[in-house]
């Protein structure tokens, strides 16, 4: 394994470990516990679950791997704040979306070659990418892993 392959493996290993860690917390929490606020007047667990699904769903588009699975989650979980949308999917529905999305992302990630990870993502222009080659697909995984870990740290506060 060369240095580039090792770097990609390290980033993806951290991504998958972070998903596994978040899953272990979601598995401990009931749907009723997910309805609780992380702290007084803060996001509920269900909102954070929907938010993570919506953000990870956007990765498919950013990585140029196809269309979003759940575009309907953008409005209630990215554009709107928690408790400002009258109806959102149930915790059970969001759990199903989360699990399916993790499967799909793993399949799509596995379809990429090491070289593919160093290509530009769709939110950067070719001109900007020429000047800033670190704005690549692998960098999306790095930033989304940090985002996932941040929210996992919040969700763990719901544990009994």
Mean pLDDT of 79-94: 97
Domains identified in the chain and CATH numbers: 3-158 (1.20.120.450)
Residues 6+ apart with CB under 8 A from 160: 33
Q: What is the pTM of this model?
A: 0.96
Q: How does the average pLDDT of the chain come out, rounded?
A: 97
Residue 118: pLDDT band (50, 70, 90) is very high
Mean pLDDT of 108-130: 97
Residue 134: pLDDT band (50, 70, 90) is very high
- Specify whether the CB–CB gap between 25 and 145 falls below 8 A: no
Q: Using the predicted structure, report yes or no on whether residue 18 has a pLDDT greater than 90.
A: yes
Distance CA(137)–CA(123), nearest Å, equals 10
Radius of gyration of the chain, Cα coordinates, nearest whole angstrom = 17
Mean pLDDT of 53-60: 98
pLDDT, tens digit, 9 for 90 and up, residues 62-71: 999 999 999 9
- Specify whether the CB–CB gap between 133 and 9 falls below 8 A: no
Distance CA(158)–CA(30), nearest Å, equals 10
**What pLDDT does 13 receive?**
98
Mean pLDDT of 120-137: 97
Distance CA(19)–CA(25), nearest Å, equals 10
How many helices (H) and strands (E) in the chain?
Answer: 7, 0
Secondary structure letter of residue 133 according to DSSP: T
Q: Using the predicted structure, report yes or no on whether residue 160 has a pLDDT greater than 90.
A: no
The region, left, alpha or beta by phi > 0 then psi within -120 to 50, assigned to residue 134 is alpha
**What pLDDT does 29 receive?**
97
**What pLDDT does 111 receive?**
96
DSSP string, 112-123: S-TTGGGSBPTT
Higher pLDDT pick, 131 / 159: 131
Residue 109: pLDDT band (50, 70, 90) is very high
The region, left, alpha or beta by phi > 0 then psi within -120 to 50, assigned to residue 41 is left
């Amino acid at each position: 394994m060369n240095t580039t392959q090792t770097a990609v493996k390290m980033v993806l290993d951290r991504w998958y470990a972070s998903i596994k860690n978040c899953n272990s917390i979601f598995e401990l929490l009931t749907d009723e516990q997910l309805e609780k606020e992380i702290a007084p007047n803060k996001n509920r667990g269900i909102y954070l679950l929907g938010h993570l699904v919506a953000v990870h769903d956007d990765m498919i588009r950013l990585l140029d791997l196809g269309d979003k699975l759940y575009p309907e989650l953008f409005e209630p979980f990215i554009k709107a704040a928690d408790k400002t949308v009258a109806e959102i999917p149930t915790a059970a529905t969001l759990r199903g979306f989360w699990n399916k999305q993790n499967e799909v992302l793993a399949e799509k990630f596995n379809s990429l070659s090491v070289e593919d990870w160093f290509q530009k993502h769709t939110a950067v222009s070719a001109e900007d990418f020429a000047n800033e080659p670190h704005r690549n697909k692998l960098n999306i995984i790095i930033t989304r892993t940090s985002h996932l870990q941040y929210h996992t740290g919040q969700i763990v506060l719901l544990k009994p």
